[in-house]
Structure 1
Amino acid sequence: MFAVVLYAALIYAVYAFYNPSIHEYTYIGDDYPSQLPISLPAIQTTLQSGEPGFSLYADDDWATLFPASDGFTDLGTAATTRTFLVSMVHQLHCLDVFRVGFVTNRTGYSHHVEHCLRYMLQIVLCNADTTLEADEAGMRGGRWEHAAGGVGSVHQCRDWRVLREYLDEHAAGPVRL
């Protein structure tokens, strides 16, 4: 009997090691998952030269990207609920900060722009997208130079619309102090 229990414990330990989602988080301190625990389907996205809309001045178009919760969602149990911001929405926010900063040329805005610039730099490096973009050589200053616009390249992505739907359905509750 001892051997059976030991064997079962070993199987569970191996399973838990290779399937970390089995961990039950307390949501106290740093004991919470690093990712929102939902599955996003893999999709392929071909980059276009520009979406209709989403110009620098299209405030209404940009507003459609943000869930009503501004990307905040609650996780945990009733006793240990924690509120988190989903990184994709933070990234969209930073792109919008760049857009608004460019359009309005506001002074006193540089601290927020710098935060977003550094944040987005780290996100791009973290994702290390290895999609190949065809060379579109062009003449610049009397010299031929390599260039790539990325249009037509097919990227392996996760379906952001599924995440948006989740955030719309699981908005954070009131701020808890």
Structure 2
Amino acid sequence: MERSFKDEDSARASSEFLIEHQSRTRSPSQKPWSKLKAAILIVLFLVGSLELIVLETILVRMSEKNSCPPTLLGELNSLVPNFPIKPMLFRKDPSATVDHDSEQSRNETRDNWLSYMPRGNGFIAVNDSAHFPSNALLVKYAIMDRYNDLTSGSAEGQQDHAQHGDHDRRGSKSHRHVDHCFRYLRQSLLCCGDTALEGQDPNTDKAATNGVGAVHMCKDFEAIRSWAEDNRLVDHKGE
């Protein structure tokens, strides 16, 4: 009987040893799978975190874009930066208009207007322009050019009046260009809404103002011109 118990204990011990041995035998094959599983979980965690960061960035930018109201006299698509505002004291500028008397005055007026023109004529290079409405930053130069022609009795101006009928003048390319520029001036008038108050001209007793000597709050024109030249589409200036 005692031997039977010993045999049973021996068999149980052998079974336990066999199970332990099998367990130890399997463990090497399980370790690589555990490492692979951990690596997969880490990768999934990193990818998920990256996606959350990207999504949050997009939502923040969309929120900022929607929460910021359009800038007065700014660009609707935010393609042009906001420029600083500075006080401007407008004084009489004799070269802003011709004296209707001399060729020298016309040339000086032309050069004066050209001095406002940025290199590249105000045409700006825009990436992916097909995604935005058709807009161009233009300096109103051509209207001055035609103004000189029509008020100076130049050969071109005289030929327009002498050689063409009323219908032809309205349909000519040059006149359409002038009309286009006047429409730009009208838009600027209606959009800018300059509310600076001008006092009476101190050089006269009349209750009137001559449009100079008053301070206006304006965009920094030199900053605008500098930006336009840095982002110009073409290199030429003038005609």
- Common fold by TM > 0.5: yes
TM band (smaller chain): 0.5 to 0.7
What is the deviation of 1:95?
4.1
What is the deviation of 1:34?
4.6
Is the aligned partner of 1:70 residue 2:131? no
Unaligned stretches of 5+ residues in structure 1: 22-31
Are 1:97 and 1:116, in contact at CA under 8 Å, matched by a contact in 2? no
Residue from 93, 102, 107 that aligns with 1:50: 93
In terms of fraction of residues, the more strand-rich structure is 1
Normalised TM-score (structure 2)? 0.49
- Say how many residue pairs are matched: 150
What is the deviation of 1:114?
3.0
What is the deviation of 1:82?
9.4
What is the deviation of 1:154?
0.3
Change (3 A) 1:45 1:96: farther
What is the deviation of 1:15?
3.0
Aligned-residue Cα RMSD (Å) equals: 3.9
Sequence identity, in percent?
Answer: 22
Residue from 194, 197, 213 that aligns with 1:152: 213
Q: Which amino acid aligns with 2:85?
A: A
Moved more, 149-158 or 67-76: 67-76
Are 2:118 and 2:225, in contact at CA under 8 Å, matched by a contact in 1? yes
2 CA distance for matches of 1:33 and 1:163? 16
Is the aligned partner of 1:85 residue 2:85? no
Is the aligned partner of 1:15 residue 2:64? yes
Are 1:73 and 1:167, in contact at CA under 8 Å, matched by a contact in 2? yes
Are 2:122 and 2:232, in contact at CA under 8 Å, matched by a contact in 1? yes
- Superposition pairs for residues 126-137 of structure 1, below 5 Å? 126-136=191-201
2 CA distance for matches of 1:38 and 1:111? 31
Are 2:123 and 2:233, in contact at CA under 8 Å, matched by a contact in 1? yes
Q: Which amino acid aligns with 1:85?
A: A
Unaligned stretches of 5+ residues in structure 2: 1-51, 99-105, 161-168
Is the aligned partner of 1:113 residue 2:174? no
2 CA distance for matches of 1:173 and 1:49? 33
Residue from 61, 81, 86 that aligns with 1:38: 81
2 CA distance for matches of 1:160 and 1:133? 21
What is the deviation of 1:46?
0.6
In terms of fraction of residues, the more helix-rich structure is 2
The match for 1:26 is: none
Are 1:72 and 1:171, in contact at CA under 8 Å, matched by a contact in 2? yes
Normalised TM-score (structure 1)? 0.63
Q: Which amino acid aligns with 1:160?
A: F
Query: Which protein shows a greater Rg?
Result: 2
Q: Which amino acid aligns with 2:147?
A: F
The match for 2:230 is: 169
2 CA distance for matches of 1:74 and 1:93? 21
Change (3 A) 1:19 1:112: same
